[in-house]
Chains A and B, each alone.
Chain A
């Protein structure tokens, strides 16, 4: 099990022995994950392996019962999602959760919420009051920030060719499923993330849409974006990932380069079953090679 040697200074996401139990069931059992800057790491595993639970633990939706999550050197275990967003963690959701009644533009603008001066928190009550005043009256600085943001978002949407730009003012619910998922990615990019967490980005997509998404993610990778990804389409995983992590029954059963993992007997067994494929035990018919 070789992996690119990573210097601790480069490790962006460091998850140590994270555990989550639901009653008697251990959904995530002492899992370690580390993602270095610029890496693309995939998490795979059969149904019920604990991938979604792990993701929820990393994105603040759920809190681990044990273990530690460190991001950029800071302990972020159990932090709320809003706080993680402010630290540069952007995520997409399985099946895509866009704001249906908001326009494409508004959806993506929301992505930048955590980093704008306009929405800065300030003091407890006074800060909120100030934000209302800013919304009503605004200042030159605010208007400039808004204009810059809109330019940035327009450029972002242009990455998707003609898919999103002509529909920039349409409500997100009127878009096709694939376009909605693209909006989600655009929204994540508007956050200017240090790491992008993708939850099954191609779920429900057909072959050509999947291929397009693959190209997009490869492009992001080339630009140096750090990515952590859950995916089921294993050929995609092989092409995208620098490293692959395999979970089964809440535990990590393999980790390493895509090709290593693909041929790892433990992985094959986890996916296909506990007896060897091709060999027979007991009652059935002829064995085959």
Chain B
């Protein structure tokens, strides 16, 4: 298995079995502390602080060039920050290669899916379980995935590259879940999807979250993200300018300004 935290394996559990604990009470699962990131000379993050509690769905919002995708890369070890620490389950991740970070219990649903296009749907799913050795567990989760994602089940022997955008997104999520993670990081999961699939994706995130898996979503579409998130952060040109529960953010006119322009300082009211 992946981490020492005894991630519940993916059983279908009825929704009243797992009481939802307020995330504020427990130690955060993932924490970014004063992260400064650079691309060459360009600074992309200025002292970014994020924390994600166990069992939460947290959304990172922001317009273009806000630094949201880079935040994902920093967490997954694909880009090293110049300052600050990333810790998962209390232990620092700084400096670890991606292949190690993923083994600690973080799974990734990359932007634009990044499926292995020439491999079949089945092979993509099994690649998701690459870090696992427990064949029985893998087989069990494989079956669960097919139940949760019926569209995927229909296309097992097809090459992943031939699926539609929405189907690919389903497959990418299933692939990520196959590793039995504690935290799933999703980068712009609704981009380019038809409304039907957008609904499906969001529903699935909520269903799986109720079983105890934590989600971190980078998303451009604020209203969609905030519909299912418990909490959110808003990034603007590399700084966290707003944070709060989803309802607080949804009601805040400043979110509109953060996207549609207008300098947002903590003191400025819209």
Stretch of B122-130, B131-139, B166-174, B224-232 with 4 or more beta carbons under 8 angstroms from chain A? B224-232
User: From residue A96, how far is it (CB to closest CB) to chain B in Å?
Assistant: 10
Contact A273 B224 (CB under 8 A): yes
What is the CA–CA distance of A232 and B263 in the complex, to the nearest angstrom?
13
- Number of contact residues on A: which range applies? 35 or more
**What chain B residues lie within 8 Å of A233 (beta carbons)?**
261
4 nearest CB pairs, A to B: A288-B251, A234-B261, A273-B223, A285-B247
The verdict on A277 contacting chain B, using a C-beta distance below 8 Å, is yes
Spell out B's residues near A (CB within 8 Å). 39-44, 63-65, 188, 191-192, 195, 198, 206, 220-228, 237, 245-247, 250-253, 255-256, 259-263
Query: How many contacting A-B pairs (Cβ < 8 A)?
Result: 95
21 contacts between A and B (CB under 8 A): A47-B64, A177-B40, A177-B42, A206-B43, A206-B237, A234-B262, A235-B262, A236-B261, A271-B259, A272-B222, A273-B224, A275-B227, A277-B250, A277-B256, A284-B246, A284-B250, A285-B246, A285-B247, A285-B250, A287-B251, A288-B247
**What chain A residues lie within 8 Å of B42 (beta carbons)?**
177, 204
Contact A232 B250 (CB under 8 A): no
Q: Which of B41, B65, B195, B220 has the most CB of A within 10 A?
A: B65
Contact A204 B224 (CB under 8 A): no
What is the CA–CA distance of A286 and B247 in the complex, to the nearest angstrom?
6
What is the CA–CA distance of A275 and B228 in the complex, to the nearest angstrom?
13
Contact A232 B191 (CB under 8 A): no
Given the interface pairs A203-B65, A277-B250, A278-B251, the reply to whether A235 lies near B256 with Cβ below 8 Å is no
Contact A288 B250 (CB under 8 A): yes
Given the interface pairs A47-B191, A285-B246, the reply to whether A271 lies near B260 with Cβ below 8 Å is yes
Interface string of A247-277 (1 = CB under 8 A from B): 0000000000000001000001001111111
User: From residue B225, how far is it (CB to closest CB) to chain A in Å?
Assistant: 8
Contact A283 B263 (CB under 8 A): no
By secondary structure, the B interface counts as mixed
Q: Name the residue of chain A whose CB is nearest to the CB of B42.
A: A204
User: From residue A15, how far is it (CB to closest CB) to chain B in Å?
Assistant: 23
Interface string of A202-227 (1 = CB under 8 A from B): 01101100000000000000000000
Contact of A272 among B44, B221, B251 (CB under 8 A): B221
Contact A284 B226 (CB under 8 A): yes
What is the CA–CA distance of A282 and B246 in the complex, to the nearest angstrom?
14
Contact B260 A234 (CB under 8 A): yes
Contact B256 A268 (CB under 8 A): yes
The verdict on A7 contacting chain B, using a C-beta distance below 8 Å, is no
What is the CA–CA distance of A238 and B256 in the complex, to the nearest angstrom?
15
